[in-house]
Amino acid sequence: MGRNAAIVAVGQTDHVSRRLDVSIPEMVREAVDRCLGSKDLNSGQVDAVVVGNMELFEGINFPELWMASAIGAAGKPLFKLNNGGTVGASVAVAAAHLVASGLYDVVLGIGYEKQSEGETQSAITTVGDPAWERSVMAGAIGNFGVMASTYVAESGVTAEQAAKVAVKARRNACFNPHAHLQRPDITVEEVLASRMLAAPLRLLDMCPSSDGACAVVMAAPDRAREMTPRPAWVVATETAHDTQFMGDSPKRLARMRSLIAASDSVYSKAGIVHPRAEIDVAEIYEPASYAELAMYESLRFCDWGEGGALIDDGVTLMDGELPVNPSGGVLSTNPVGATALIRVAEAALQVMGEAGDHQIPGVETALATGYGGNAWSEAVIVKGSAS
């Protein structure tokens, strides 16, 4: 990168199933107001805006036009991204690149989704190739069912181990006022008894469907230091793709080529050799309980096939050696276009020391990931110092 970029402010809505009280622009504005307001900033200080969401999730074409006034973008450079579930992380990376390149000093990044306005599983099904996949695919749930079956066969991970991830997420969420599903009393037995959606995935193994938005302010070094005492410096970013057809690599979850490529790249750029020891907290994009365990392996938090043991040993719990998703993660909150930006924003809050009741003490280095369409991963490392 040309120069450093840092996240200085974060804002989120309180994520819920249905926001009937606000339109999409009004909901997005809540996140923007909370973000700018957290550091007493105003939209006049923003040089450019990047906004992202999912295609076909809402019945709106050209959404950036609909919300230009809501996000203070009229008369400014405004960029839209639409790259699936990864989009929120891509918004953060694009904002970091726009600042690092020297083009703009202060960039507002926004992700949002109002899932209650459409049919998520139906819209995701249209991701499938019209000739080869679409008539068989069943949204994200069906895809993850198939992927999880291969991961179970590959790793021997059990339904109980996956359920522990589902429990961890909803319990962690109790310490995050913005989280959608907060369940202090949830148990492994309850997860295992919940309705089967697409074997081996049960209802409580999957992320919810949320309405919500997230915004971050990315700033150049001198501006960042003016705006907040401890910025979250974006020290490494990477994006990586997998193949076109789902079936080209049935081990897409057991051996996540895109996540391996993206995380290896950011580890290298950030000088991280032993991720489990050197990363203080991770906010990863885990759309299903099994996916989190698989991601532990592809992120090299453990050896192949050891993802289940990591949760058994409590390594990724809030008070473990490497807490994963203290915010409650995607399993607790999933306004899809915002979800990956929430990962980056939560990683930044941890580094800034502003995560409130789910703050992990002494975070210097945090990892965030984005994931979409079983095809695309994004990884971001934020640190407390820019070196």
Partner 1 sequence: MSPTPPIDAVLRLEYAADFEYSYAAGKFASRFMNALRTEARLQGTRCDGCNKVLVPPRPVCGLCSGRTAEWVDVGPSGVITGYTVVEVPFIDPMTGVERPIPYGFAFVRLDGADTNIYHFLEESRHDKISIGMRITAVFKPAPERDGTLADIIHFRTE
Partner 2 sequence: MSEPTILHQKINLPYRYTAGEFHKAFLYGLADRRIVGSRCPACLTVAVPARPFCPECSAHSGETMDMKPQGTLETWSTVTIRGVTRTYGLIRIRGADTVMLHIVDAEPSGLRVGMDLVPRWSPEPVPEITAIEAFRPA
Nearest-approach distance from CB 231 to partner 1, in angstroms: 39
Q: Check binding of 71 to partner 2 (CB under 8 A).
A: yes
From partner 1, partner 2, none, which one binds at residue 58 (CB under 5 to 8 Å depending on kind)?
Answer: partner 2
CB 111 within 8 A of CB 338: yes
Nearest-approach distance from CB 242 to partner 1, in angstroms: 9
By CB under 8 A, name the one of 69, 187, 244, 385 that touches partner 2.
Answer: 69
Q: Check binding of 40 to partner 2 (CB under 8 A).
A: no
Residue 74 or 103 having the CB closest to partner 2: 74
Selected range binding partner 1 among 241-249, 259-267, 293-301, 304-312, rule: CB under 8 A:
241-249
By CB under 8 A, name the one of 235, 246, 284, 366 that touches partner 1.
Answer: 246
Of residues 253 through 292, those in contact with partner 1 by CB under 8 A are none
> Cα–chain-centroid distance for residue 243?
21
Of residues 138 through 167, those in contact with partner 1 by CB under 8 A are 138-139, 141-142, 145-150, 153
CB 70 within 8 A of CB 213: no
By CB under 8 A, name the one of 61, 62, 130, 184 that touches partner 2.
Answer: 130
Residue 122 or 385 having the CB closest to partner 2: 122
Nearest-approach distance from CB 29 to partner 2, in angstroms: 7
By CB under 8 A, name the one of 25, 221, 250, 353 that touches partner 1.
Answer: 250
From partner 2, partner 1, none, which one binds at residue 375 (CB under 5 to 8 Å depending on kind)?
Answer: none
Selected range binding partner 2 among 119-127, 144-152, 180-188, 290-298, rule: CB under 8 A:
119-127
Q: Check binding of 24 to partner 2 (CB under 8 A).
A: yes
Selected range binding partner 1 among 24-32, 129-137, 216-224, 290-298, rule: CB under 8 A:
129-137
Residue 100 or 137 having the CB closest to partner 1: 137
Nearest-angstrom CA–CA distance, 12 and 30: 7
Bridge partners (DSSP) listed for residue 107? 48, 218
Selected range binding partner 2 among 19-27, 155-163, 268-276, 372-380, rule: CB under 8 A:
19-27
Binding residues for partner 1, rule: CB under 8 A, are 20-21, 59, 119, 121-123, 125-126, 128-139, 141-142, 145-150, 153, 195-201, 243-250
Binding residues for partner 2, rule: CB under 8 A, are 19-26, 29, 43, 56, 58-59, 69-72, 74, 114, 116-119, 122-123, 126, 130-131, 134
